[in-house]
Structure 1
Amino acid sequence: MIAIDSSAQPIQALRFEDDGATPNSRFPVLLYQLKLAPAHDNASAFESLFAAHQWTPLWRAGIFDYHHFHPNAHEVLGVARGQARIMLGGAAGQALTVKAGDVLVLPAGTGHRCISSSDEFLVVGAYPQGQEDYDTQRPETGAHQQALARIARVPHPEQDPVTGAHGALMRLWQ
């Protein structure tokens, strides 16, 4: 039984500028709002969905409460339970609320952190095949140029983690 319905859901594209410490990306963050089956193991369903589209699920947890980004990997975050207030784009970015069923696709370099969350908040994190050995870096002006160089070398994913080879990522990350 499929616990996630990813058909015909609106997708938001969120853009964040480089602030001199948090690189962000020229590619937009993608926000999907999926329908989850009630009382189902949604974490396992997200893991299966992501794996089916060549994104390796590596962890189940919350989101770090400090600003950070990944200079060598793209990341997908599937909210399996609960809700949280998060900040995207670094200290001068945008705060938003995510809830069970939301999926964020973060291009390499995108700043993110958790501001607050419900007790049951649970996220599945996954990375494109070949990018599983991701680094976590805090924004720092002194390491900014090196981070930009690393981000520029990150290859595009083969598929959108939610909808596959013909998904929004393939259109919007050109």
Structure 2
Amino acid sequence: MKKKDIIAIAIAVIVVLVGGGLLIKTRIAVSENRLANNITKAVENKDGSLFLKQFSKDNQDIKFSDIGAQSVVKDMHDNATDPTSEIGKIIVDGRTVAGTKVDYSFTVESKKVMGLFTSYYLTTRKSPVQVSNYTGYGDDMTIKMTSGGKNQTVTKSQLSSGLFPGRYDFDITSGGEDDGSYWVRAAGDGSTIDLTVTEY
């Protein structure tokens, strides 16, 4: 192999390594600024899917997290007294957004990508929901989550396993009778929420 060929191969390898490194750094690894920008964009556009993507895989996999994430961005968009353009930075800085229905608890964490680049993401804690039935019908109770235009039956054990931050609406019936509409709002601080079901 000629010296000229060796130099050409070496240059090609360097270009691939540098190009690959830049691609990872700009596309795969998420800087704190990019995380803040993504959060702000999600709130500005009321984009619950984009907001949820900023969280750890474990948080994304929490049952009904899509419903919670959508309600969080709507709450921040509609009620925050902080400027919308600053919301991402506020969250990444570890502060709470003023004016929202609850003080949401999010934490910024980081991981190494390819052992070289630091990537930042959000985490939160699940809030267990404890259902207390005071209708006199024991366990003869049907809970339907109506948030997000859905009408899906949920179990007490699913609720007790914890919800992603956000507001969740329910229609509850017991003993064949409609006991009314209920809602809970999870903050992401891990505290248990009491959902007390009473007869009309």
- Give the TM-score taking structure 1 as reference length: 0.27
Higher helix share: 2
Higher strand share: 1
Max Rg structure: 2
Q: Greater RCO between the two (CA within 8 Å, min separation 6)? A: 1
- Give the TM-score taking structure 2 as reference length: 0.24
